[in-house]
Amino acid sequence: MKDAALTLRNHSKEILSYFHTRLTNAICEGINAMIQAAKRKARGFHTFEGYAAMIYLAAGKLKLATPVLF
């Protein structure tokens, strides 16, 4: 209970700000979660370019068609 009260006291400005503006940081948190997931998928890439490509692939929600044999 002490931890909850301390958290409320430490974040009271942000909590009250939400009720005034009705804005949250949910979009930023979602983007960060997507980047962290891409980071986990990019394990093994030894360059930043590979990491960045994985982020773009995850963030862009690209539809990659599978090759079709003729």
**How is the chain split into domains, by residue range?**
25-59
Average pLDDT, the chain: 86
Structure confidence by residue, pLDDT tens digits, 29-54: 998 998 888 888 888 878 888 888 88
Q: What does the chain look like in DSSP terms, one character per residue? A: -HHHHHHHHHTHHHHHHHHHH---SHHHHHHHHHHHHHHHHTTT--SHHHHHHHHHHHHHT--PPPP---
- Tell me the backbone φ, ψ of residue 22, rounded to 5 degrees: 60, 30
Q: Which residues contact 57 (CB under 8 A, 6 or more apart)?
A: 38
Q: Averaged over 49-64, what is the pLDDT?
A: 79
pTM above 0.85, yes or no: no
Report pLDDT for 30.
Answer: 92
Query: Is pLDDT larger for residue 18 or for residue 66?
Result: 18
Q: Averaged over 12-18, what is the pLDDT?
A: 91
